[in-house]
Amino acid sequence: HGCIIHAFSCIASIDPKDYTFSGLKNETVGRLPGKVAGQQFVIQDCENCQIYIFDHSATITIDDCVNCQIFLGPIKGSVFFRDCKDCKCVVACQQFRTRDCRKLEVFLCCATQPIIESSTGMKFGCFQYYYPELALQFKDAGLSIFNNTWSNIHDFTPVSGENNWGLLPETAAVQDYVPLPSSEELKAVRVSTDATKSIIPITRGRRQKNSDESCLTVFFAGDYTTANARKLIDEMTSKGFQLVQTKEVLMKAEDAHRVFQQSALEFIPLLEKGPVVALEFNGDGAVEQCRSTVNEVFSGTKVFVSESKATASQDVDNFYNFADMQMGM
């Protein structure tokens, strides 16, 4: 029974001070991978600080912070910013919420619809970040790298004639907002803010589409699903097509009929293995390019790809209508 008793004593000895940054000014502070390990974290009353949580956590609250730059690794539950202003952040979470905030700029990965309340001057971009431990931290936090509704903001307290939020410029580079850490301790984390390396695929989200042609591609669960999806994203984006949105979700037979229509029967047996990963690409010639790339690179793997430009936009609508209902969006 030694192990059980040991486990309890570990839980009992958690000191909240180890999971709090409070009342700091002009400091660079953080936690290395493995140091938060799924606990709650509190950040409060900090000014002109650079704060980096390079680990996964349960929930994080950020209160009364001014002019801070903050990186928050994957958060299993919610992150809540209250009474903060002039902060720049990179955040990955299940739920994102702000109240009484002014001028927050956030590179966001959020599995559900982000919510702002009594907040103004909010700007959002797509999460882009890499360090070697990050992929596993997403898994530990129960977050899918493909479920990111960063641009679909819900404003609880809209003001008529005013817009409390908008999107960061497409060209916005993370390191211009949240620079790499300068302290020796935190430099040990091998961070890259290069968009092509990002753990989270960079999506256009709600930005204006360049073309009226989109294409839906769906990969089915298996050992290489994530790698295959990433490979196709690299192939398509290198040819100038844009990744609009991605989704990882479980499908049932009746969903397959709705989404895959006449080719449903071919794909239904593949649904039992686990969730599907869907990608929407946009650009003139997207369907043709997607189909030829899939045939070339993934021969032997069953993949759904839109048949033609004529049916593709309906495919996309069918899939995302289903997925949004699934995820309660």
b/e for 115-126, b at 16 or more Cβ within 10 A?
Answer: bbebbbebbbbb
- Mark the binding-site residues for GTP, compressed into ranges: 77-78, 94-97
Q: Which of 52, 109, 60, 120 is nearest to 85 (CA)?
A: 120
Query: Would you state the structure tokens that stand for residue 210, as one six-digit string?
Result: 């360049």
Report d(CA 158, CA 217) in Å as an integer.
Answer: 36
Report d(CA 158, CA 173) in Å as an integer.
Answer: 28
Report d(CA 99, CA 118) in Å as an integer.
Answer: 6
Report d(CA 275, CA 225) in Å as an integer.
Answer: 10
Q: Which of 226, 244, 248 is nearest to 236 (CA)?
A: 244
Report d(CA 233, CA 242) in Å as an integer.
Answer: 9
- Mark the binding-site residues, compressed into ranges: 77-78, 94-97
Q: Nearest 5°: phi and psi at 180?
A: -65, 150
